[in-house]
Amino acid sequence: MSAVLFFIAGFGAIAGAVGVVMLRDPFYAVLALVGHLISLAILFLLLRAEFVAAVQVVVYAGAVMVLYVFVVAYVGGSAEGARGDELRVGGPGSIGHGSVGSNLRLGGVIAGGALLIELLIALLGTGLEAIGGQGAGYSPGPRTFGTPAYIGNLLLTRFLLAFEAASFLLLIAAVGAVVLARRRGGIDDDGDMNGRVLTPLDLVRPQGTGTMAEGVGGPHQ
């Protein structure tokens, strides 16, 4: 049963990865990645990592992929496909020549194949005896290996510093995303008021700070 499930999930994970790399339309690539992530969560479950599998489905396949879908819908997903991903044979505005693209693709595939062979040698040729085994002993229970209680205990005792650092990193990333994606400001903002009169509202809601009113293009725009 476990072997059957492994082969189904492993095939799904690899097929999803191939889909992400090969599909032209970024929207379908995102959907392929969702399938890949769910297959990977099944593999995690087979490896007794219950909490990591749950986080994978809820956070990755749920939240992060929704963010991707929003951005693909906003930016216009088929930009690459519309202009033709095929090697761009010396069209106007293309840098380099047509053969550069095909050489790059061939070189990328060769480099990836070499990387795969090297990784397989490094991982499977280690001579570790445990690598051919089923893993350490496991007995089901409420606080055993991989359960939320076990992970939470480790995170809040032994890995407390990493936990706090990760939370701080998330805060910095959230602030950075707001600064990057705000509507006004940025590098080429020359700071002119465009004949606008300064209102008291500007004190509590200055221009270029990424407020929701700016996001929807309110009266301040």
| CB-nearer residue toward another protein: 89 or 115 | 115
Show Cβ contacts of residue 111 under 8 Å, excluding neighbours closer than 6 positions: none
State in angstroms the smallest separation of the CB of 203 from another protein: 26
State in angstroms the smallest separation of the CB of 180 from another protein: 4
Residues 63-92 that bind another protein (CB under 8 A): 63-64, 67-68, 71-72, 74-75, 77, 79-80, 85
Q: Which region, judged by CB under 8 A, interacts with another protein, from 167-175, 195-203, 213-221?
A: 167-175
- Angle CA(109)–CA(110)–CA(111) in degrees, nearest 5? 90
| Nearest residue to 106 via CA among 96, 117, 114, 118 | 114
CA dist 118 and 135 (Å) reads: 24
Residues 6-35 that bind another protein (CB under 8 A): 6, 10, 13-14, 17-18, 20-21, 26, 29-30, 33
| CB-nearer residue toward another protein: 155 or 205 | 155
| Nearest residue to 44 via CA among 9, 88, 79 | 9
State in angstroms the smallest separation of the CB of 55 from another protein: 6
State in angstroms the smallest separation of the CB of 197 from another protein: 26
Residues 146-165 that bind another protein (CB under 8 A): 146, 150-151, 154-155, 159, 162
Residue whose entry in the numeric block shows the structure tokens 């209102």: 199
State in angstroms the smallest separation of the CB of 106 from another protein: 9
- Angle CA(191)–CA(196)–CA(198) in degrees, nearest 5? 85
Contact in structure between 181 and 150 (CB atoms under 8 Å) = no
